[in-house]
Structure 1
Amino acid sequence: MRLTGVSRDYHQGKEIVHALRATDLEVRGGELIGILGPSGSGKSTLLTVMGGLRTPTTGSVEIGGQPFSTLPEKKRAQLRRQYLGFVLQTSGLVPFLTLADQFALHDRVLRRTTAAERRDQLLDALGISERVHAYPSQMSGGEKQRAAIAVAVYHDPKVILADEPTAALDSHRAHDVARLLAQQTHELGKATVMVTHDERILPVCDRVMVMHDGALSDQEHIELP
């Protein structure tokens, strides 16, 4: 994935808010990038622009060398389903479906058969195999977050965008999640961007960057907030 001169502005009355300043970023297959920064620094804006959920004010986003941000919304949504995996701060699970049915829903949307072995491997790696037939309301906050991560990477996306994936987890489970994301990235050649406040999981990252006032910098060039 490549961002070239990407920015995102908002209007507040007569003022223009520069939520994301002109940003160049390339995330290669097999690379896990961690992004740190205080609340309101532009991290989530960056992630939603990368994922095609918002269009940039300037610049372009490419996936696999192909234009993404400039596509019509219908085509962009199709590529999102096929190539991107989102891990959000809230689980995003469908409340009236069991965990097994959450995976089956992905299969129906993508018109493919269920990959039960992959599903079970993901759940086992995250320590929630026994929750496969549970509804979200029957899971703890940490279980729901881990379930959402398993669902997000189940369809083997080329790009994983994770927004605070360990926010609801204790240290042990946070490291399980970090190891899974690193394994998916390094062994399967995915490009992963992880926004986080959790410095416990930064050792799994290949590169750490810092967002401040909408500007992205390498960690070594800026003091952590």
Structure 2
Amino acid sequence: MTAVLALSGVSRDFVQGDEVVHALTSTDLTVDAGEFVGVIGPSGSGKSTLLTIMGGLRRPTRGTVTIEGEPFSELPERQRSRVRLRRMGFILQAASLVPFLAIADQFALHDHAARAAARTAARDDLLDELGIRSLAGKYPSDLSGGERQRAAIAVALYHDPQVVLADEPTAALDTHRALDVARILAEQTHGRGKATVMVTHDERLLGVCDRVLSMEDGTLTQR
């Protein structure tokens, strides 16, 4: 079976003055459909670099990223943007919701960008599954941190992406809400067959992951 997301020999170097910083050493990784992979490591270990390369926001210095066997990292920026729009979902620490739009209206942004018809039933199903249908008319500022992250998960999954990338999605939450959000993300990954990677420094969340990898000094290893 072809992995949904695959990295082969991926590395990333940065130049700082006269010094070359190896932010990510040669990395091989595959993530299958329905698999929730956690990547843990301290700040500055290379987790965010790894995630931005997976998401096509940066190109690797060496190596390749593929989605379902198709080249991704080698595509020009405009084509990578189209792949991100159609095949990837992003969940960020700050929930990445538009502050002046009600929750139900957040989904229309993707419809507009993708020039697609509104999928009201799909939106409502997601809100129901995540237990926030009653909050659809509220604004992000009206919600708790956990509710905002549930809404962010719904928005990220709305267009049925194959790959979901989560960057410290529970960093601003207390233990109870953090575990709640991580469990929901795991359930959605398994139930909807997504290939999900979550980078975090929070060891509280590791129990809900199918596989945990450790990042240190740019090197990714099995934990």
Same fold flag (TM > 0.5): yes
Unmatched tracts of structure 1, length 5 or more: 220-225
Q: For residues 188 and 148 of structure 2, what CA distance do their matches in structure 1 show?
A: 20
Q: Which of the residues 190, 198, 203 maps onto 1:199?
A: 203
Looking at structure 2, the residues matched to 108 and 5 of structure 1 have their Cα atoms a distance apart, in angstroms, of 36
Counterpart of 2:87 in structure 1 is 83
Deviations 1:122-156 (A, max 9, x none): 33343433321222233333332322222111111
1:46 pairs with one of 50, 54, 59: 50
| Correspondence for 1:6 | 10
Q: 1:164 to 1:123 in 2, by over 3 A?
A: same
Q: Are residue 162 (structure 1) and residue 166 (structure 2) matched?
A: yes
Relative distance call for 1:86 and 1:5 in structure 2 (3 A) is same
- Name whichever of 120-129 and 84-93 sits farther off: 120-129
Distance in 2 between residues matched to 1:13 and 1:4, nearest whole Å:
29
Return the alpha-carbon distance in structure 2 between the equivalents of residues 210 and 149 of structure 1.
Answer: 24
Q: Return the alpha-carbon distance in structure 2 between the equivalents of residues 14 and 131 of structure 1.
A: 53
Cα shift at 1:107: 1.8
Residue 64 of structure 2 corresponds to residue 60 of structure 1: yes
TM-score by length of 1: 0.90
Indicate if the aligned counterparts of 1:145 and 1:168 stay in contact, CA closer than 8 A: no
Q: Is 2:17 aligned against 1:22?
A: no
Give the superposition deviation at 1:108. Answer: 2.2
Judge conservation of contact 1:32–1:192 (CA < 8 Å) in 2: yes
Q: What amino acid is the match of 1:59?
A: G
Alignment root-mean-square deviation, CA: 1.6
How many pairs were matched up? 219
Instruction: Determine the C-alpha separation between the residues in 2 that align with 1:168 and 1:128.
Output: 19
Question: Sequence identity, in percent?
Answer: 64
Q: Distance in 1 between matches of 2:54 and 2:104?
A: 29
| Equivalent residues of 1:84, 1:158 under 8 A apart | yes
Q: For the structure 1 residues 64 and 202, does the alpha-carbon distance in structure 2 shift closer, same or farther, using more than 3 Å as the test?
A: same
**1:199, distance to aligned residue in structure 2 (A):** 2.2
* Shift in CA distance, 126/197, structure 1 to aligned 2, threshold 3 Å: farther
For structure 2, the 5+ residue unaligned runs are: none
Cα distance in 1 for residues equivalent to 2:113 and 2:152: 17
Q: Does 1:126 pair with 2:147?
A: no
Name segments (4+ residues, structure 1) moved above 4 Å.
Answer: none
- Superposed, 1:70-219 pairs within 5 Å as 70-219=74-223
Where 1:157 maps in the other structure, the secondary structure is coil
